[in-house]
Amino acid sequence: MTPDPPTLLGYSTVIFLLLGIHFILTEFSGRRWSRMAWYGAPFFLGAVSGLFSTVHAVLPGLWGFRLSALFMIMAFGAAWQAMRIILGYPQRVFPVLLACIAFFVLSALAGPTGLFRVLSTAFRLSALAILHVLGIQDLRHATQIRTPARRNLEKLLTLYAGFYFLLVALVVWMPAPLGAAPATIWAVASYNFLTVIEVALFALGMIAIPWEQLAFQQQELILQDPLSGGGNRRAFQAWLENDGKNCAHEALLMVDIDHFKNINDVHGHAIGDQIIIAMGRVCKNLLYPTTTLFRIGGDEFVVVFQCGSVDEMLATAQRLRNAFSAETHVIGEEGITATLSIGAALCPGTGISRTDLLARADNALYAAKQTGRDRVVHFAHEENPSPPDISDTSPPCP
């Protein structure tokens, strides 16, 4: 059975219209007019493109095909804008308009055959490929969490970008609409099928990405301490349970704010909250970008970071201790004297479990409290420590 191109294009046009109506109705309830317009635009423009290709009575001759190709470029450009809105980026309409104007001029000069026919077709395919590449870049550089839908959409765009670049290289030999050679039924059917598949998968991505982002944000809120900005006790427990392998080159600091209950009793809980916030701010500004902070109690924290030596770990702990004291000294009208007791443990070269590493840091923290507070104590170990040696690496409290 030979496929009928007008029938296939007619089905595609209906599919595009239905998808456009879906996104219009989805966004209409929220009265988000700009988003509603951009979400529906790719599909309505694709439907207009299909209309020019299907109903030749609308505009017979070459102009119908020219406008069909033009609206298809506009549809892909609008899809790029819709994706940027989903990712939180502003629209970039000018490059799309420039590409559409350039193609319109080239296609107006082109006939059924000849050099301008090849140039206009190559430009159309190149524009579609570049729009895919721009979408890939936005997906990779977006600051939101890389959800599964985002990764799958990136793979889809990469596949189609490669396909369009391949068509550019073969433009002289491939039949229209895949190239500049005379059209064939199989070429029209193949192009229509591939376009419908991409549009359907792109629409699924538009639906899935916002929902996945919302789910990840809610998960982050569940696992985040609202004051320090670090992970809460639940997140810390998940970190401990994710202990399939022994730690390697990992330092763990058990941190306790000295006399925190007394600070709350004397200065009030509002000041206490500011001190917790200061702890999170100091860790964020001072420590490594890969540092993980957990608040596991009212005044207890765990700081984890990659570290290659004991000296580096102790220097980091001392910087944290000093910076925290300086940061909290300006809190309140009279200033607060808040200090830290820190127990430090470094994962040995042979590797130990995170639970064992935590126990070593906890022992060191206990020693820091017992020997006067406001200091860093290091759990010094050998390959097989028996018994473990706990050494104080901070100057005595004044």
In tens digits, what is the pLDDT along the chain, a chain of 398 residues? 566 777 888 889 999 999 999 999 887 766 678 888 999 999 999 999 998 888 765 677 788 889 999 999 999 999 999 999 999 899 999 999 999 999 999 999 998 889 999 999 999 999 999 999 999 999 998 876 778 999 999 999 999 999 999 999 999 999 999 999 999 999 999 999 999 999 999 999 999 998 888 888 888 788 899 999 899 999 999 888 876 556 777 899 999 999 999 999 888 899 999 999 999 999 988 887 778 999 999 999 999 998 888 999 999 999 999 999 988 887 877 778 899 999 999 987 666 888 889 999 999 999 999 999 999 999 876 444 433 444 455 544 33
| Per-residue pLDDT at 135 | 96
- Please name the fold of domain 5-221: Rhopdopsin 7-helix transmembrane proteins (1.20.1070)
Q: Based on the number of CB atoms within 10 Å of its own CB, is 2 exposed (0-12), middle (13-18) or buried (19 or more)?
A: exposed
Q: Structure tokens of 46?
A: 């694709």
Angle between helical axes of 5-28 and 185-223 (0-180°, round to 10): 20
- For residues 81 and 59, give the distance between their C-alpha atoms in angstroms, rounded to a whole number: 28
Q: Are 228 and 280 in contact (CB under 8 A)?
A: yes
pLDDT at 8: 81
Query: pLDDT value at position 221?
Result: 81
Q: DSSP characters for 327-383? A: HHTTSSSS-----EEEEEEE--TT---HHHHHHHHHHHHHHHHHTTSSSEEEEE--S
Task: Say what the pLDDT of residue 180 is.
Answer: 94
Residue ranges of the chain assigned to CATH 1.20.1070? 5-221
- pTM for the structure as a whole: 0.72
Distance CA 175, CA 286 (A): 61
Indicate the DSSP class of residue 175: B
Contact yes or no for 77/99 (Cβ under 8 A): yes
Q: What is the CA radius of gyration of the chain?
A: 31
Q: 340-346 and 376-380: which strand pairing? A: parallel
- Other C-beta atoms closer than 10 Å to the C-beta of 222 total 10
Overall fold of domain 233-378: Alpha-Beta Plaits (3.30.70)
Every domain range in the chain assigned CATH 3.30.70.270: 233-378
CA angle 200, 205, 211 (to 5 degrees): 135
